[in-house]
Amino acid sequence: MITREEAERLRQETEIVPVAKVIRSGQVLEITGDLLLIGDVNPGGTVKATGNIFIMGALKGLAHAGTEGNIEAVIAASVMKPSQLRISDCINRAPDHVPEEESRVMECAYISDSQQIVVDRLQVLMKKRPSLTRFEGGL
CATH 3.40.50.1000 fits 4-82+105-130, yes or no: no
Report pLDDT digits (tens) over 119-137.
Answer: 998 888 888 888 776 554 4
User: Is 100's pLDDT higher than 70?
Assistant: no
Q: How far apart are CA 74 and CA 7, in angstroms?
A: 24
Q: What is the pLDDT of residue 139?
A: 45
Name the 3-class secondary structure at 49. strand
Give the model confidence (pLDDT) of 67-95 as tens digits: 999 999 999 999 999 999 999 999 998 76
Q: Are the beta carbons of 97 and 77 closer than 8 angstroms? A: no
Residue extents of the structural domains in the chain: 4-82+105-130
Predicted local distance difference test score (pLDDT) of residue 137: 47
Per the rule left: phi > 0, alpha: psi between -120 and 50, beta: everything else, 44 is left
Residues 6+ apart with CB under 8 A from 82: 41, 59, 60, 61, 62, 63, 94
pTM here is: 0.85
Beta bridge partners of 76: 54, 108
pLDDT mean over 19-26 = 97
Average pLDDT, the chain: 87
pLDDT-above-70 percentage for the chain: 87
Distance of alpha carbon 42 from alpha carbon 60, whole angstroms = 5
Cα–Cα distance, 107 to 27 (Å, whole number): 23
